[in-house]
């Protein structure tokens, strides 16, 4: 068989995209990064291009990123990428499965239907009802439906704001985001964890240790470290990621006094936390995983 041509859909110049492209190139000699902003689908001809690449002539596509920030535009690009599957090209992870996690609301509802323990959460469009939730929970995190790395998240504490102030803050947030997604702010042990899964199999866990901000994201000064979750935490994370069927992902978990909770399953998964916290090169492991499945498909088809 000829060497397979496997492209990465991602952001040129960004570390995780380049790391995955490097790993695939080292194994195949072929390198292509497809900018999701350059996708062109010809509906009548049933073809899909990105720059000079005909995606239907590739042996495989790995989706690392479909935009610099979470937004409904990501969903549109994932819809377009499904045309590559129409051509018979395997895509990792499948676009419709990723799409269920781009929108925080969709991901949350799937997790709760799957009986995955999460922080108490209320979703509403009514500001007066949101005020009642803040007073009930005491401290809440307002979360945009499209965001990552704590971007756009706001902490509201009932004891520090009067009703008029709460109403003003919530109304301003609603005018920007539409739906108010309120999650109770839990007391965490100074860190949360990312549990890494490849093909549904647990690979290890890293911690995000809190910096100077209220959250543990590295954008707020958090640091990566090795983590040792309990068997119960690992099993909950395994069940959570299985609801979505991604080829590669990380599950954000925390161990609280009331037991493990899941915050979210990542639409794309992260490489840096595993590398810096565990010394685990998931870009290389993912490349091996993809190549093995494409080789098996080609052998079955006699290519």
Q: What is the pLDDT of residue 283?
A: 98
261 and 202 both lie in a single domain: yes
Domain that holds residue 211: 102-115+188-282
Q: Is residue 48 included in any domain, yes or no?
A: yes
Output the CA–CA distances (angstroms, integers) from residue 106 to 100, 119, 146, in the order listed: 6, 16, 11
200 and 265 both lie in a single domain: yes
Q: Mean pLDDT throughout 145-149?
A: 84
Helix (H) or strand (E) holding 181: strand 180-184
- Residue 29 belongs to a domain with what CATH number? 3.40.50.20
131 and 237 both lie in a single domain: no
17 and 132 both lie in a single domain: no
Residues 207-235 pLDDT 10s:
998 755 544 565 556 789 999 999 999 99
Q: What is the pLDDT of residue 45?
A: 74
128 and 171 both lie in a single domain: yes
Q: Mean pLDDT throughout 136-154?
A: 90
Q: How many domains would you assign to the chain?
A: 3
Domain-terminating residue out of 130, 160, 184: 184
SS3 75: helix
Does the structure show a pLDDT above 80 at 83? yes
Domain-terminating residue out of 184, 199, 216: 184
Model confidence, pTM: 0.92
Q: Mean pLDDT throughout 134-161?
A: 90
165 and 235 both lie in a single domain: no
Q: Is residue 302 included in any domain, yes or no?
A: no
146 and 228 both lie in a single domain: no
Q: Exposed (0-12), middle (13-18) or buried (19+): which is 47, by Cβ within 10 Å? A: middle
More reliable by pLDDT, 220 or 142: 142
């Amino acid at each position: 068989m000829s060497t397979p041509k496997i492209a990465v859909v991602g952001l040129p110049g960004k570390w995780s995209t380049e790391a995955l492209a490097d790993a695939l190139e080292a194994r195949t000699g072929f390198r292509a990064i497809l900018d999701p902003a350059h996708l062109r689908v010809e509906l009548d001809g049933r073809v899909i291009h990105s720059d000079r690449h005909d995606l239907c002539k590739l042996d495989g596509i790995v989706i690392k990123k479909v935009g610099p920030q979470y937004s409904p535009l990501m969903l549109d690009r994932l819809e377009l990428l499904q045309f590559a599957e129409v051509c018979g090209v395997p895509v990792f992870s499948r676009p419709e499965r990723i799409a269920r996690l781009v929108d925080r609301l969709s991901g949350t509802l799937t997790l709760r239907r799957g009986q995955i323990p999460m922080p108490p959460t209320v979703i509403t469009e009514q500001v007066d009802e949101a005020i009642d939730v803040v007073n009930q929970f005491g401290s809440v995190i307002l979360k945009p439906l499209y965001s990552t790395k704590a971007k756009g998240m706001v902490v509201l504490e009932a004891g520090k704001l009067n009703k008029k102030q709460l109403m003003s803050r919530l109304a301003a947030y609603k005018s920007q985001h539409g739906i108010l997604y309120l999650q109770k702010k839990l007391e965490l042990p100074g860190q949360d964890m990312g549990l890494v899964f490849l093909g549904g199999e647990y690979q290890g866990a890293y911690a995000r240790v809190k910096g100077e901000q209220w959250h543990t994201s590295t954008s707020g000064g958090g640091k990566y470290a090795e983590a040792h979750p309990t068997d119960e935490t690992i099993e909950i994370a395994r069940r959570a990621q299985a609801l979505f069927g991604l080829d590669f992902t990380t599950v954000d978990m925390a161990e609280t006094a009331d037991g493990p909770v899941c915050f979210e399953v990542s639409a794309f998964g992260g490489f840096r936390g595993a590398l810096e916290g565990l010394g685990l090169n998931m870009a290389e492991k993912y490349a091996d995983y993809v190549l093995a499945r494409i080789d098996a498909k080609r052998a079955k088809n006699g290519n």
